[in-house]
Structure 1
């Protein structure tokens, strides 16, 4: 019996050591992820009320049919904005960076428009590895910007990208998380992501 009890204690100790080791590794991966460089590489498939506005600066750049469709959509009580924001993560650190999920907030002209969460494990190789994380965004500007004049609300969804889809007025706030056992541990604060590597700030 003593031998069996000793084996059980030994097994429990080994499991504890393994769990502690795994937990430390995961926390290190999250810390490394937070210390990565971030940038918004480009915007893709930007549509407003179903109209492709990827390279549209203002409503005057639309033809009459397109402008009428957007105007009618707003008048009917809906102005859906859809786009993909491609965020690049560069890991300059000597260890692997990883996260299991990330909360995000899209900001246009310093105004928070929509938020969401991506539940997908992402790993970035050390020593300069780069990974692209596409963030699919869908929101109704009519509801988000209630009380804003129609022309101003429409223009909020136009001119979001320049040449090559480079974001001109869009930024992101992100909060990465990691799973340790059954517990979700979140980065304490938000990382502000802009257009260039090295331009991110932490809150």
Structure 2
């Protein structure tokens, strides 16, 4: 009889552990739904390899760098590279976690590129904040197909506002969390700007 009871107790523990994990992950999913996201800053801005972090117009560049940009946009790809920092704030009493996040990047409401953050991110409880740095690479000639060279160059300038605020940027995010090893993805995207706005 004691062996039977011991076996039943062991089985109960075996089944209880995954149930507790599922419950915890389900709680994190609900917690994540109340988190706030915003675009914190943009830095390391470069056009065709030229630092344009604080450049507002073409005349702010040296003649050499301005010439390099003009040549680059006329002869080949015109890469825009930067790091966009997304700030996530968790006002809840429990940690929030995500395992993946699909994203779409827009500048001036024009879609530039899209991709996936494929890493686990934990957002601490009680107004804890996590910063998610995202390295971006955009071929402006492709994204702005049909635009002239001057328009493409000017588009890639003045992207960092005061305090490096990404005022011209918008992100659409779609978080995913694993529950019992099954990915649960939010239906649709949330739109994130420079102000906090929770998942809806």
TM-score by length of 1: 0.88
15-24 or 5-14, which moves further after superposition?
A: 5-14
Q: How does 1:16-31 map to 2 (within 5 A)?
A: 16-31=15-30
Tell me how far 1:60 sits from its aligned partner: 2.9
What runs of 5+ residues in structure 1 fail to find an aligned partner? none
Paired residue for 1:58? 57
Partners of 1:124 and 1:165 lie apart in 2 by: 23
Tell me how far 1:159 sits from its aligned partner: 1.2
Partners of 1:115 and 1:62 lie apart in 2 by: 30
Paired residue for 1:77? 76
Partners of 1:39 and 1:89 within 8 A in 2 = yes
Partners of 2:82 and 2:136 within 8 A in 1 = yes
For residue 81 of structure 1, give the secondary structure of its aligned residue in structure 2: strand
Deviations 1:105-160 (A, max 9, x none): 11100111111111221112211111111111112111222212222222222111
Paired residue for 2:66? 67
The yes-or-no answer on 1:134 pairing with 2:123 is no
The yes-or-no answer on 1:196 pairing with 2:195 is yes
Paired residue for 1:186? 185
Paired residue for 2:44? 45
Partners of 1:74 and 1:36 lie apart in 2 by: 41
Q: How much is the aligned-residue C-alpha RMSD, in angstroms?
A: 2.2
TM-score by length of 2: 0.89
Q: How many residues align?
A: 200
Q: How does 1:80-159 map to 2 (within 5 A)?
A: 80-159=79-158
Partners of 1:60 and 1:5 lie apart in 2 by: 84
Partners of 2:36 and 2:199 within 8 A in 1 = no
Tell me how far 1:6 sits from its aligned partner: 8.0
What runs of 5+ residues in structure 2 fail to find an aligned partner? none
Partners of 1:141 and 1:9 lie apart in 2 by: 64
Partners of 1:189 and 1:202 within 8 A in 2 = no
Partners of 1:108 and 1:156 within 8 A in 2 = no
